[in-house]
Amino acid sequence: MHVDRHYDVMVIGGGSAGVIAAIQAGRAGAKTLLIEKTGLLGGTLTNGGVNFPGLFHAWGRQVIAGIGWELVSRSVAEAGETLPDFTDYKRGHWLLQVRVNAFLYAALSDEAVVAAGVDILLHAMPAALTEARGGDGWDVTLCTKTGLTTCHARVVIDATGDANAASLAGLPVVIPEETQPATLSCLASGYDIAQLDLATINRAFDAEVKAGRLDYTDASWDTTAANVGAWLGQRGANASHVHHINARDSAGKTRLELDGRGRLLRLYRFLRRQPGLEKLDIAHLAPECGVRETAIICGKRTVTAADYCSGRRWDDAVCYAFYPIDLHTSDGGGLRVAPLSEGVVPTVPRGALLPEGSRNFLVAGRCLSSDRLANSALRVQATCMATGQAAGAMAALSAAKGVDPEEVPVVNVHALLREHGAIIPE
């Protein structure tokens, strides 16, 4: 096999986890390549339109910092905005998420990745992963706009969110029979919600649902009743549900995007017929549906809901995590939330980032090894950033020492993460 380029670390996926993993590996001195399938770094925050990452703070104190927090806080400062008051933690958790300008976050990510000495290849995806002879890393075939190219990496990090690289490498994954619904976000304008007769609009919407021309979840998460005010109040941001499609592969992803835009189009046509919404405009549409669940790896350790909700301190913990159990559903009100007990701050073990039977391979982000309920909390952006930085640190140390990531002493991982601003579990 002809290999075009050689790297210490290859990060596949330039989203919440992958960007941070690549920066960390590059800053630690590893020759690093970052692969991203779109033209824009940032993942869910940028391409998915969910530009309010969280949660970095628990019970009034910061528990996730490091490179992800650096980019988020720099984006806020660059825009001249202010951060929430994190000490007022008894408010709804959504009020403690940080509103971020997606353009600034993407541009600052570009800047930080380049400054870390990382090579970036946009508009590219993995086509095959083959373990190199002698077990010395991976030969990765990439599909680019002009054909296939093969690169060698001492360590691969799967930050696709869908365990795509792990699957291509023949590593075990779990694909749920039912996935959480996805959401297509947009930015709606051209109306004053205070001037709208929402009760009348809801009645008209309900009639369209009963006639089979709309679904309740075109305009909210609730499957049982019309609540158009939810969508209008959020101006289309994270305000709908698209059901029963697993977007882990290209066919599923295609179905999801078509379904999401079709739902938005029929909602738009309905709303423009309502009094006060004649000038409704979709000022911005997220390039991709925001996906909550597709697949997870079978890891050397698995975080269960009991582990998560008890705040278990794993002996190989590499970062904190903090978010309520947050399972989106295709029935009832569309969401089942279970807040953590006060004072509980979960941790993520290194073993959850290591697929069973793997060598020189890590995952970061939402496809880490966890059961469904734990994953509904671990999937959020701040935790993905923390696991990304941990994976980047482990990969850099692994490549430098010529050992598997599992063989790097966890104290060395902690030392490198602290050097780059991360908060390590006590």
User: Are 312 and 337 within one domain?
Assistant: yes
Mean pLDDT throughout 304-313? 98
Res. 42: pLDDT tops 70: yes
Mean pLDDT throughout 130-140? 92
Residue 137 in any domain: the answer is: yes
Q: Which domain holds residue 333?
A: 5-178+293-419
Mean pLDDT throughout 229-244? 97
Residue 88 in any domain: the answer is: yes
CATH number at 15 reads 3.50.50.60
User: Are 304 and 357 within one domain?
Assistant: yes
Residue 339 in any domain: the answer is: yes
pTM score above 0.85: yes
Res. 133: pLDDT tops 90: no
> What is the rounded distance in angstroms from the CA atom of residue 264 to the CA atom of residue 6?
44
Mean pLDDT throughout 109-124? 98
User: Are 254 and 315 within one domain?
Assistant: no
> What is the rounded distance in angstroms from the CA atom of residue 72 to the CA atom of residue 271?
34
According to the model, what pLDDT value does residue 374 have?
98
According to the model, what pLDDT value does residue 4 have?
81
Question: By the 8 A CB rule, do 219 and 205 touch?
Answer: yes
User: Are 134 and 206 within one domain?
Assistant: no
User: Are 267 and 303 within one domain?
Assistant: no
**pLDDT tens, 328-360?**
999 999 999 999 999 999 999 999 999 999 999
Mean pLDDT throughout 107-126? 98
> What is the rounded distance in angstroms from the CA atom of residue 145 to the CA atom of residue 105?
26
According to the model, what pLDDT value does residue 134 have?
81
User: Are 151 and 195 within one domain?
Assistant: no
User: Are 51 and 172 within one domain?
Assistant: yes
How far apart, in Å, are the Cα atoms of 61 and each of 46, 65, 99, 197, 382? Answer: 27, 11, 18, 42, 14
User: Are 9 and 124 within one domain?
Assistant: yes
User: Are 148 and 43 within one domain?
Assistant: yes
Alpha helices in 235-282 (DSSP H): 250-271
Domain count, the chain: 2
Res. 70: pLDDT tops 80: yes
Mean pLDDT throughout 405-426? 97
Res. 426: pLDDT tops 90: no
29 burial type by CB count under 10 A (0-12 exposed, 13-18 middle, 19+ buried): middle
User: Are 39 and 153 within one domain?
Assistant: yes
Residue 35 in any domain: the answer is: yes
According to the model, what pLDDT value does residue 359 have?
97
**pLDDT tens, 88-113?**
999 999 999 999 999 999 999 999 99
Res. 175: pLDDT tops 70: yes
According to the model, what pLDDT value does residue 155 have?
98
Mean pLDDT throughout 131-137? 89
According to the model, what pLDDT value does residue 1 have?
58
